[in-house]
Amino acid sequence: MANPQNTLLQARRFRWWEPVLWLLAFAAPLALPSHALIINEIAIVALFAISLDLILGYTGIVSLGHAAFFGLGGYAAALFAKHVMPDPLVGLAVGIGAATVLGAVASLTIMRGTDLTRLMVTLGVGLVMLELANKLDWLTGGADGLQGVMMGPVLGKFEFDLYGRTAAWYSLTVLLVFFLLARRIVQSPFGATLKAIRDNRLRAMAIGIPVTAKLAQVYTLAAALAGAAGALLTQTTGFASLDLFEFHRSADVMLILVIGGVGWLYGGILGAIGFKLLQDVISSITPQYWTFWVGLFLVVLVLVGRDRLFRPWTWFGAGHKAGAASNTGGH
């Protein structure tokens, strides 16, 4: 029988392609300067997807209100920059802190009930935050949004440029830091308890795992990462609006995980790349009906299956087992 400690240590090791992937990501704003803005968007959406994957893929909590933390982090960072100080890193910390507090409070709502109950409760939290942002127009700007958000240079040296290269590197750096943090967490004993809760909550309780405490901790952590993504968006765009809290934010990030795969941190990154590129390409061809084609792709993906769709040699059955086995590999 394999030693659990050795298994965890082996899972933490980086594969050869991972540093290559990140080096290519950081080189992309230089190699593709005209696409720096979409690279920035992809990094932000990828971080948002990773935050949802922590509770959906590793703990089994379905949430349709994840935009509540995204939006609060965005508004907190924007308000801090406008009324207190424009330092991006301090503003990022403020956005993370605000989302963390909301996550800790909202975690109390997911302790009981069925999956459907949690789904509706999380959706309700998102709608409440949307309505609060709309009503507190003296603070948030209401439907007009919070305008005039000016950000200072990152580390006092790197100014945000119109081409978006500084924004892209800033967002990619924050994404990498939180990805490494999430990776360490899911490959730790704490991550193993989350997977045990996901697979069978009653059995986890029977062997002494404090399920309630673990759910609260991971939900709060996921809220913090979502808040960081929201803060990055408002800092790099200089604008915060009610759109941050809209339902489509939560729905889109769910679709991103469907594309990339749940329970795999790189699934959020690959899903974000696929979703944003698909959205960008199709909307440039047919601006009115791009959502139809994205939806059609997702329907085909669900019906055919990710393994068979992206591995054509499995369409006729050959190699299907091998594909399934590879999909259960490491993170």
Q: pLDDT value at position 325?
A: 41
Domain-embedded: residue 310: no
What is the pLDDT at residue 4? Answer: 58
| Rounded Cα–Cα distance for residues 217 and 220 (Å) | 5
In this prediction, residue 123 carries a pLDDT of 84
The answer to whether position 320 is within a domain reads no
* CB atoms inside a 10 Å sphere around CB 258: 16
> In terms of C-beta density within 10 A (0-12 exposed, 13-18 middle, 19 or more buried), how is residue 288 classed?
exposed
* Mean pLDDT of all residues belonging to the chain: 81
Tokens at residue 65, please?
């209100």
H-helix or E-strand spanning residue 235:
helix 211-237
Question: What whole-number distance in Å separates Cα of residue 252 and Cα of residue 240?
Answer: 18
Give the pLDDT of residue 165.
84
The answer to whether residue 276 sits within a structural domain is no
Burial 16-54 (b: 16+ CB within 10 A, else e): eeeeeebeebeebbeeeeebbbbbbbbbbbbbbbbbbbb
pLDDT of res. 100? 94
- Give the rounded distance of the alpha carbon of 6 from its chain centre: 29
> Domain for residue 190, yes or no?
yes
Count of positions (residues) in the chain: 331
Q: Across the 331 residues of the chain, what is the mean pLDDT of every consecutive 10-residue run?
A: 55 74 88 87 93 89 87 91 87 93 87 72 86 86 80 79 83 93 90 86 84 88 94 88 86 85 85 85 76 76 62 43 42 50
Q: Structure tokens of 240?
A: 């915060």
Q: How far apart are CA 325 and CA 331, in angstroms?
A: 14
- The backbone torsions φ and ψ at residue 162, rounded to the nearest 5 degrees and listed phi first, read -70, -25
Q: Is residue 282 part of a domain?
A: no
What is residue 328's three-state secondary structure?
coil
Closest C-alpha to 183, from 282, 330, 69, 28: 330
Return the residue matching tokens 């889109």: 252
Q: What is the pLDDT of residue 286?
A: 74
Question: Does residue 173 belong to any structural domain of this protein?
Answer: yes
pLDDT tens digits for 196-206?
A: 888 888 888 88
Looking at the domain assignment, is residue 199 inside a domain? yes
Q: Identify whether the C-beta of residue 75 lies closer than 8 Å to the C-beta of residue 245.
A: no
| Of 298, 281, 299, residue with least CA distance to 290 | 281
Nearest partner of 151 among 269, 76, 237, 220, judged by Cα: 237
Beta bridge partners of 154: 158
Is position 330 within any domain? no
- The per-residue pLDDT for range 199-231, each reduced to its tens digit, is 888 888 888 888 888 888 999 999 999 999 999
* Structural domains of the chain, count: 1
CA proximity to 186, closest of 324, 20, 30, 51: 51
Q: What is the largest CA-CA distance in the chain?
A: 63
Domain extent, residue 223, equals: 4-265
